[in-house]
Amino acid sequence: MQRLKKTLLNFRLQLILTLFIVLISLLMLINDYLTALIFNQSYYLNESLLFKVTIVLLLVPALFYTSLGEIKHSREINVVKVLLLLVPTAIIHVFVASYLIQLIGQNLLNLPFTFSFLIKNKFTQDFVFIITTYGLMYLIARYYYLNISKSNNNKNKTLSIKSGTRRDIIDIVDIDRISAETPYIAIWIDEKKYLYNSTLTDILNQIDRTDFIRIHRSTIVNISKIASITSRLNGDYDIQLYNSTKLRLSRTYRTPEVDSQLRL
């Protein structure tokens, strides 16, 4: 049931990104027509549609946005990581779009566009547009996972933690792990620790989420924050979270249910 719910959430994001790309394509077609009208130029629908291959190709990477852990689980934008992801993708996009436009133009429309001309055209005219559109899609995906999916997946959305005269309200979905710290428990969000007056057993019942499982006598982890699981070949596993925190899954807590949830 949980896997089906996540699949539906991913499908919804892909549909949103697809509609976003379709909207951009329609706006660009209208822009081409209005430009020709304003400057009293001829408007060729086939040629206009041909150059929209650049936009249609955005559909391909849109399908993979749902598998990027950086989008799903990171609460802060790492600009360097985003640029390292988007810039090479945009460069590849330019080359593929130029090749397809040349192929379709010469074989179906008898348009004499050369590959070198299209490469220069795309880098000078469309590169900034392509990378900006990728960035907008990235932000849409982040908003979706950090807001919409959060509200859909949680029964108890927040936890109130009192510290002296201050009370912090935290989103349960943001919790990375919970550890024992007698006489309290420590709730971790990234590197920030909140002390909470409870036990691991009680908190697991209180948050009532299938995404949280106990992996050690002193540790509960949020499954959605797990980046990788590595076997120690003795029944134990090393778990690494997306924020690089490393935890131990003890063989003592490896029940069939836990193995199923972690897909071991």
Domain ranges of the chain: 2-153, 159-262
Cα dihedral: 233, 236, 237, 239 (round 10) = -160
**Which fold does the domain 159-262 belong to in CATH?**
OB fold (Dihydrolipoamide Acetyltransferase, E2P) (2.40.50)
Q: Cα–Cα distance between 264 and 235 in angstroms, integer?
A: 11
How far is CA 69 from each of CA 58, 110, 176, rounded to the nearest angstrom?
20, 44, 14
Tokens at 237, concatenated = 């596993």
pLDDT at 119: 93
Contact 161, 194 (CB under 8 A): yes
- Taking every pair of C-alpha atoms in the chain, what is the biggest distance, in angstroms? 79
- Is beta strand 192-196 parallel, antiparallel or unpaired with respect to 184-189? antiparallel
pLDDT at 68: 59
Q: What is the pTM of this model?
A: 0.58
Q: How many CB atoms lie within 10 A of CB 15?
A: 11
All residue ranges of the chain with pLDDT < 70 are 1-6, 65-77, 147-156, 208-209
How far is CA 77 from each of CA 72, 80, 143, 188, rounded to the nearest angstrom?
11, 9, 12, 19
Q: Cα–Cα distance between 27 and 178 in angstroms, integer?
A: 48
pLDDT at 69: 55
pLDDT at 10: 78
pLDDT at 1: 47
